[in-house]
Amino acid sequence: MEMETVVRIAGLCIAAAVLAALLRRDAPELALLLTVAAVAVGAVLLLDAAGEVLALARELAALTALPNAMLLPLAKVVAVALVSRVGSALCLDAQQQALARLLDTAGALCALGCAAPLLRAVVSLLEAWL
């Protein structure tokens, strides 16, 4: 990821936060919509960086000869964490703390579920050594 991308996203976030703070007094719904739009634009700006990270992961997978069955759960856990964290933050911006906590809990449980194949592989490896 280029430094330029981080600077662009920081500028976007700061501008959106200032505008949302100004809107929140008179039009809280518009403030929330502005925040959601800024998150969407920021996510689009991150697509190139995500592509670079995926290319690196593929390269490392080829070098280590690890099967995709071992690497896919890691990618799923990262995706679950990102989605639940951003979604939870949006819920908190909307003053919906209970929904945010539910999403946090769902993210944690789903991440554990995604990591289950790795945990099983570790247990199998340990059983083979013992």
pLDDT of residue 13: 92
What are the tens digits of pLDDT across the range 90-126?
A: 999 888 999 999 999 999 999 999 999 888 888 988 8
Of residues 32, 22, 23, 18, the one with CA closest to residue 94: 32
Of residues 104, 97, 93, the one with CA closest to residue 17: 93
CB 48 within 8 A of CB 8: no
Note the pTM of the prediction, 2 decimals.
0.74
C-alpha triplet 80, 81, 85: angle, nearest 5°: 115
Q: What is the CA radius of gyration of the chain?
A: 19
pLDDT, averaged per 10 consecutive residues of the chain (130 residues), comes to 86 93 92 93 90 83 78 88 94 91 95 90 87
Alpha helix positions (H), 27-96: 28-45, 47-64, 68-93
